[in-house]
């Protein structure tokens, strides 16, 4: 049983309807279903060479020597480059998105297994890999720091001795909320519950790995880079800073991208290697990493070790929440977040509840692991924040012996409290939480499920029902607060209407499968009345599109979507002036009906947007002060984030003989305000729910004590197949964002954020007969088995 979104009759097979928002089949599909997408590895240029990277086999070691003689002698090899060679070019280190530096190629020592040590450029991929085997590196192995809890112990090996005066592994301390006020509430509360909650290290693992083709033209001094980039404009600026190339001579092209999920936001050493390879050989150079390189060296996600505490009255009024977090950032601080937010938006850990006080203290440290942290649809650490609050609320329900739904409803922020300022300073824009919760309960048949559970429990069967209710914060963000390396988080949009009434809209954001080519055409169509089929959406090419910060943090709809609506209105305003001349009436006498202006009281007298476009470009006079052409560009600076919310209910069955968890049902009710295309939203939600099953039950990037990565291929890093996920059930409510031009909020990451706690809450609920209040992800059969037998949880 699945709640299918409304499908108006006649729309099923028609790309040309509707004219605006609504279910519309995707414009992207025809090329993808025929194998005519164009992804980075499909790019083939004359004379193109291939780059392969030699990686460290150990987690922590000094590099004693690197012998490249044999590799250089390989007949198909054109260049072998080491950290020493890059040092001469000033490119051995590059800035990260959080103001640290990261080694492009290791110079002094290696700091994680899989780190880049040297690269080879050869005539084909096979020869490049062969030559890697011919490079001889001598390592002086050092003790690694793997257990983040021991990273700050006196005498712990210092990972970042490249940083001046660095004598420990401390990166930063961060704090939010009011410590004293929170302490006071906790001191006088009836009930205090505390739990250690780990969000393990996972990886976004997009189906397409990272890669690029760098083409440096020595004559023009111009670099063209096809790359797997979620933020091509920001990347262009960073390459200008890193490589010292003038920015107007850099063209970054993000072609079709085979999924990003945050893994394609940072700049990786491989991109820089390919650029250097092209500069030194004078030929185009392709670099495509393989899956194991992707899993072991590109941006991981999560890795927060949290102590969560909640204070409440005996009858279930939540008073305060506080948390202490230890954040494992790996060997370089490469967190991709706005600079003033080193912990991302973790500050929204107060969730959907009206509290008296809240406080968080966080410490981030270096370990001998790959860099990353912010990725995998986390909305800048909101996955961790929502997991913490939704898990600790369930722990409270367990202590109070209260139904988890009742406890949540009792504490919801009420609709008349919005815009609501949280105790950690976030201004939630809008929300009406209880109807969303009620809708999920209704679809799931919650009361019936609880009755079934009681019956099954009586027979010794393990059935669990898990609930989560989340508030997201997406659409970074207001430029006064939010920037990435000094670049304000605004987004541009340009709209040109051609003489025949067809249009092209150019975006600064970059789809990786979220359907922007379809939905942005719909936004513009809704505003200006040109059918979406007549609107081409251009994105990903920095020479062709206005500047902006790219797609991540579910920010496309909140920021660029707003820009698209407003640029269309700007064009419409100009069209109105032209229409008034064409109809020989004053502007005030005109009425807009989607696609045409007509004279008030005389609908027969009208001009369509297509007729106006021809007049705008044609011969004949335009009103005084109106230039020819019909186009506009804007840069949208959002005044606030958008705060979508959702209610999720998960039903699991656990096999008592094998401890295997089966997700039987999952109900997701999302509220992202105005819905541009329900079909696409549903697909986004399905994706995120599958992330949740992966993280809650299967996925983890683990390390042994020597720092060997234990999740370095799809043999060990298990992502869900069609067999592990149920037939998703979705529903929605609509609470528009008051500050957004079309009332739309972001949604892409909601399900990834909201589903893991629902699944874990369901598993813990199933294990209630064993007296278990918490168990850490991933809830693999062996971990559930251990939990059922009272074996202590593993430390990390």
Partner 1 sequence: MTRISVNVDGIAYQDDVEPRLLLVHYLRDRLGKTGTPIGCDTTNCGACTVLLDGRSVKSCSVLAVQADQCEITTIEGVSSDGTWHPVQRAFHEEHALQCGYCTPGMIMASIDLLKDDPDPSEEAVRDGLEGNLCRCTGYCNIVRAVRRAAQEMRVTAP
> Contact residues for partner 1 (CB under 8 A)?
2, 12-13, 25-26, 28-39, 41-42, 44, 124-126, 205-209, 256-259, 261, 290-292, 512-515, 679-680, 682-690, 713-715, 719-723, 725, 727-728
| Minimum gap (Å) between residue 687 Cβ and partner 1 | 5
| Minimum gap (Å) between residue 512 Cβ and partner 1 | 6
Residue with tokens 């033209």: 217
| Minimum gap (Å) between residue 32 Cβ and partner 1 | 3
| Minimum gap (Å) between residue 315 Cβ and partner 1 | 39
| Minimum gap (Å) between residue 519 Cβ and partner 1 | 12
- 353's CB contacts (< 8 A; 6+ apart) are 318, 389, 393, 408, 411, 412, 413
Whole-number CA gyration radius for the chain: 27
Q: What is the DSSP letter of 248?
A: G
Nearest residue to 776 via CA among 59, 80, 71, 196: 196
Q: What is the DSSP letter of 39?
A: B
| Minimum gap (Å) between residue 747 Cβ and partner 1 | 14
Looking at the Cβ atoms of 347 and 678, the one nearer to partner 1 is 678
Provide the token pair at 182: 């929170």
Looking at the Cβ atoms of 645 and 687, the one nearer to partner 1 is 687
Looking at the Cβ atoms of 60 and 675, the one nearer to partner 1 is 675
Looking at the Cβ atoms of 453 and 690, the one nearer to partner 1 is 690
Nearest residue to 768 via CA among 388, 313, 403, 311: 403
* Residues 114/333, Cβ–Cβ less than 8 Å: no
DSSP E strand boundaries for 547-682: 590-593, 596-599, 602-608, 631-636, 645-654, 661-671
| Minimum gap (Å) between residue 642 Cβ and partner 1 | 22
Looking at the Cβ atoms of 479 and 686, the one nearer to partner 1 is 686
Across-strand partners of 464? 652
| Minimum gap (Å) between residue 397 Cβ and partner 1 | 28
Looking at the Cβ atoms of 258 and 629, the one nearer to partner 1 is 258
Looking at the Cβ atoms of 372 and 546, the one nearer to partner 1 is 372
Q: Tell me the C-alpha distance between 538 and 254, whole Å.
A: 11
| Minimum gap (Å) between residue 36 Cβ and partner 1 | 7
Q: Tell me the C-alpha distance between 352 and 321, whole Å.
A: 12
Looking at the Cβ atoms of 376 and 469, the one nearer to partner 1 is 376
Tell me if the bond preceding 778 is cis, omega within 30° of 0. yes
Element (H, E) at 575: helix 562-583
Give rounded-to-5 percent helix, strand, coil for the chain. 30, 25, 45
CA distances from 545 to 179, 231, 473 (A): 46, 12, 27
| Minimum gap (Å) between residue 224 Cβ and partner 1 | 19
Nearest residue to 769 via CA among 425, 456, 366: 456
HSE of 98, CA atoms in CB hemisphere, 13 A: 20
| Minimum gap (Å) between residue 132 Cβ and partner 1 | 14
Looking at the Cβ atoms of 39 and 592, the one nearer to partner 1 is 39
Looking at the Cβ atoms of 102 and 294, the one nearer to partner 1 is 294
Q: Tell me the C-alpha distance between 385 and 379, whole Å.
A: 10
Tell me if the bond preceding 18 is cis, omega within 30° of 0. yes
Looking at the Cβ atoms of 72 and 130, the one nearer to partner 1 is 130
Nearest residue to 344 via CA among 481, 210, 179, 146: 481
């Amino acid at each position: 049983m699945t709640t299918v979104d409304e499908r108006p009759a006649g729309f099923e097979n028609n790309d040309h309807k509707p004219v605006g928002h609504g279910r519309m089949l995707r414009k992207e599909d025809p090329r993808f279903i025929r194998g005519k997408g164009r992804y980075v590895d499909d790019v083939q240029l004359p004379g193109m060479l291939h780059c392969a990277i030699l990686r460290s086999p150990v987690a922590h070691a000094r590099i004693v020597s690197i012998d490249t003689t044999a590799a250089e002698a390989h007949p198909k090899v054109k260049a072998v480059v080491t950290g020493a060679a890059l040092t001469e070019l000033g490119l051995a280190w590059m800035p990260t998105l959080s103001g640290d530096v990261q080694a492009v190629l290791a110079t002094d020592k290696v700091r994680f297994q899989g780190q880049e040590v040297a690269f080879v450029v050869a005539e084909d991929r096979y020869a490049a890999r062969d030559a890697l085997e011919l490079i001889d590196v001598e390592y002086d192995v050092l003790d690694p720091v793997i257990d983040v809890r021991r990273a700050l112990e006196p005498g712990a090996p210092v990972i970042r001795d490249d940083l001046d005066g660095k004598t420990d592994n401390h990166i930063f301390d961060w704090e939010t909320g009011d410590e004293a006020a929170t302490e006071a509430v906790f001191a006088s509360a009836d009930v205090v519950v505390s739990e250690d909650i780990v969000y393990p290290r996972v990886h976004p693992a997009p189906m397409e790995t990272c890669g690029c083709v760098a083409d440096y033209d020595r004559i023009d001094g111009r670099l063209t880079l096809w790359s797997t980039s979620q933020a091509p404009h920001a990347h262009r600026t960073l390459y200008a800073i890193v490589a010292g190339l003038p920015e107007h001579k850099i063209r970054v092209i993000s072609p079709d991208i085979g999924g990003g999920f945050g893994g394609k936001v940072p700049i990786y050493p491989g991109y820089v290697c390919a650029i250097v390879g092209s500069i030194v050989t004078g030929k185009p150079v392709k670099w495509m990493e393989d899956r194991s390189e992707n899993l072991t060296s590109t941006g991981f996600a999560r890795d927060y070790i949290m102590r969560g505490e909640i204070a409440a009255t005996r009858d279930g009024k939540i008073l305060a929440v506080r948390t202490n977090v230890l954040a494992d950032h790996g060997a370089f601080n490469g967190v991709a977040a706005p600079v003033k937010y080193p912990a991302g938006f973790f500050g929204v850990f107060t969730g959907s509840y009206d509290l008296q006080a809240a406080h968080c203290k966080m410490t981030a440290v270096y370990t001998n692991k790959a860099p990353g942290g912010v990725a995998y649809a986390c909305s800048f650490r909101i996955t961790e924040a929502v997991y913490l609050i939704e898990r600790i609320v369930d722990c409270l329900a367990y202590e109070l012996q209260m139904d988890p739904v009742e406890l949540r409803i009792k504490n919801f922020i009420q609709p008349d409290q919005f815009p609501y300022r949280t105790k950690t300073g976030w201004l939630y824009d809008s929300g009406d939480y209880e109807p969303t919760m009620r809708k999920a309960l209704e679809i799931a048949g919650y009361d019936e499920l609880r009755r079934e559970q009681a019956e099954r429990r009586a027979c010794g069967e393990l059935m669990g029902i898990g609930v989560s209710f989340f508030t997201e914060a997406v659409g970074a963000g207001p430029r006064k607060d939010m920037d990435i390396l000094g670049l304000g988080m605004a987004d541009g949009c340009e709209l040109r209407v051609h003489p025949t009434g067809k249009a092209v809209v150019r975006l600064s954001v970059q789809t990786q499968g979220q359907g922007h080519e379809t939905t942005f055409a719909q936004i513009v169509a809704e505003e200006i009345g040109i059918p979406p089929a007549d609107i081409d959406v251009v994105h990903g090419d920095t020479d062709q599109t206005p500047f902006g910060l790219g797609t991540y943090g579910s920010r496309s709809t909140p920021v660029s979507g707003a820009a698209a609506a407003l640029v269309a209105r700007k064009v419409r305003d100009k069209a109105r002036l032209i229409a008034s001349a064409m109809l020989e009436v004053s502007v005030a006498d005109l009425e807009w009906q989607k696609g045409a202006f007509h004279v008030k009281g005389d609908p027969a007298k009208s001009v369509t947007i297509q007729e106006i476009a021809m007049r705008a470009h044609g011969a004949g006079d335009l009103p005084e002060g109106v230039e020819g052409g019909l186009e506009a560009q804007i840069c949208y600076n959002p005044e606030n984030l958008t705060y979508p919310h959702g209610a999720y209910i998960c039903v699991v069955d656990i096999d008592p003989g094998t401890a295997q968890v089966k997700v039987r049902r999952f109900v997701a009710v999302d509220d992202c305000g105005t819905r541009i295309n329900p079909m696409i939203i549903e697909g986004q939600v399905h994706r995120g729910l599958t992330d949740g099953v992966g993280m809650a039950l299967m996925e983890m990037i683990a390390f042994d004590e020597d720092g060997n990565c234990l999740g370095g291929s799809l043999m060990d890093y298990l992502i869900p197949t069609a067999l592990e996920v149920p037939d998703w059930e979705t529903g929605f409510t609509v609470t528009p964002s008051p500050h957004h031009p079309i009332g739309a909020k972001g949604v892409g990451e909601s399900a990834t954020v909201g589903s893991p706690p629902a699944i874990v809450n369901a598993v813990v609920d199933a294990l209630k007969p064993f007296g278990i209040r918490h168990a850490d992800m991933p809830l693999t059969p062996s971990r559930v088995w251990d939990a059922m037998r009272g074996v202590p949880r593993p430390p990390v």
